Structure 1
């Protein structure tokens, strides 16, 4: 007699986020905005390098479409800008579509690179978590000078009275 075994895998819900800043929010980072305005190819190369890709990749947007147009293939979408925008969107799980990425890459290339740069910087910021110790029931330990904390019936830890009440601060490297 054969036995049927059904294995149910957990359903993972992906939480998609919006961009951390709007497309035209260049005033949030004026240094990047000025850098992109005065030398967009250099800014695109540095932004691509910050994402971990080859810094020379955006130079293909300058030479690629011109070369393809000379061969008779008109290109209006900058391929590297579009590819980087899609890569940033997927890496940071940002809501959007390929149609939106094409429109932004074609119509406002400077704003697109500035938005990608701000997003990369936002995700590279160090995270600081500050917590305080939970409310605990203090049970004096008669045999020693330290105090044992009990949380929901289980020992929380042994601390001296001097250590009680000090906040716990965690920082990411």
Structure 2
């Protein structure tokens, strides 16, 4: 039974607002710039090892966060990656997620075209994207639902942003 709203009818409580991916760079990062370089794998050695041994795991985790949970689970993204990798065209699928990540955070296409980065440096690109998500407050390894819960809890405890008077 839901609480009575005073009109004699029981109503469901409203759903929580959807979580939005932050559009602003983390502290110390320049707008439009990646927070780490393409070859910065030493910054997260555990993810580097996982990506070199089984890139479908890192890709699946990244895709779930980049899609905002629309990819039902990282397993789906990882499975698609695995199947496409077996025929040698995984980079054609994964480069779209790099482009989407860049669009979400207004990042530059660096060091070159997204598809070229994924065709020639796929493990490095996946690691960089994983680090970028982590540096922007997400933990791809726990999935979208846990990240959404973490962000919503953080939003509930943060004071509202004050805006100055505009003309």
With structure 2 as the length reference, what TM-score do the two structures score?
0.54
- State the match for 1:93 in structure 2: 106
What's the CA shift string for 1:115-153, capped at 9, x where partnerless? 001111111169xxxxxxxxxxxxxxxxxxxxxxxxxxx
Give how far 1:111 is off: 0.6
User: Any gaps of 5 or more consecutive residues in structure 1?
Assistant: 1-14, 68-74, 127-169
Q: Is the 8 A contact 1:36 1:43 kept in 2?
A: yes
Q: Is the 8 A contact 1:58 1:81 kept in 2?
A: no
Give how far 1:89 is off: 0.5
- State the match for 2:46 in structure 1: 31
Sort the Cα spacing of 1:77 and 1:41 in 2 relative to 1 into closer, same or farther, 3 A: closer
- State the match for 1:17 in structure 2: 32
Q: How many residues align?
A: 109
| Structure with the bigger percentage of helix | 2
Give how far 1:85 is off: 0.4
User: Any gaps of 5 or more consecutive residues in structure 2?
Assistant: 1-29, 139-149, 151-156, 161-167
**Greater than 3 Å deviation, 4+ residue runs:** 64-67, 170-173
More relative contact order, 1 or 2 (CA 8 Å, 6+ apart):
2
Name the SS for the 1:78 alignment partner: helix
Asked which structure has the greater CA Rg, the reply is 1
Cα RMSD (Å) of the superposition?
A: 3.1
- State the match for 2:60 in structure 1: 45
- State the match for 2:143 in structure 1: none
Q: Is the 8 A contact 2:47 2:127 kept in 1?
A: yes
Q: Is the 8 A contact 2:31 2:106 kept in 1?
A: yes
With structure 1 as the length reference, what TM-score do the two structures score?
0.53
Name the SS for the 1:124 alignment partner: coil
- State the match for 1:106 in structure 2: 119
Q: Is the 8 A contact 2:56 2:79 kept in 1?
A: yes
- State the match for 2:77 in structure 1: 57
